[in-house]
Amino acid sequence: FVVETLGKIKSEQVIPALLKGAKNLDLDVRKEAIFWLGEIGSEQGIHALLEAAQDSDSVVRKWATHALSKIESEQAIPTLLQSLEHSSPDVRKESACALGKIGSETAVPSLLKTLKDANSGVRECSAKALGRIASGQAIPALLQAARDSDYSVRSRAVEALGEIGSEQAIPT
């Protein structure tokens, strides 16, 4: 409750307390602190969020990758790329979404791999991320994803192709 109250202030002055909370042994306190560090969106919280993205608890990792997506710092790219290979689909999904928000071409090869993930949510976020990055390199894989068995993945793939806006995206 205290961490939530501090976070709702949304001032950089509460960041030191949230940083302490992000290392707390209590899982709920850690999750709340991580969430609010992302909501405040300050670069001061990056190190703690990168550390939390390596936490042994997959729920903490998921919250940390989500928080990193709010800050949109390129410092997070290596950690997010690594998180695309995590066993938890929620962590992979949040990582793909975060990489799309950051928008770096560096993520394209890894997102092309997760576009074939067993989990449809991960595939959907990967397609959305590839559309945001708008790399022509993704067109063949997105055309393939436009025929995915899952409607949401197909829809996101088509939207991504539209965002890329290349004539190469027109099926022949």
- Confidence class of residue 50 from pLDDT cuts 50, 70 and 90? very high
Q: Say what the pLDDT of residue 1 is.
A: 55
**Number of Cβ atoms within 10 Å of the Cβ of 139:** 18
Cβ atoms within 10 Å, residue 42: 15
More confident residue, 14 or 76: 76
DSSP code per residue over 58-70: HHHHHHHHHHHHH
Highest mean pLDDT among 10-19, 58-67, 92-101: 92-101
Measured in degrees and rounded to the nearest 5, phi and psi for residue 57 equal: -90, 125
Could you tell me what percent of the chain has a pLDDT over 70? 94
What's the mean pLDDT in 27-55? 89
Whether 141 contacts 157, CB under 8 Å: no
Provide mean pLDDT across the span 117-132.
98
80-115 as b/e, with b when 16 or more CB fall inside 10 Å? bbebbebebbbbbbbbbbbbbbbebeebbebbbebb
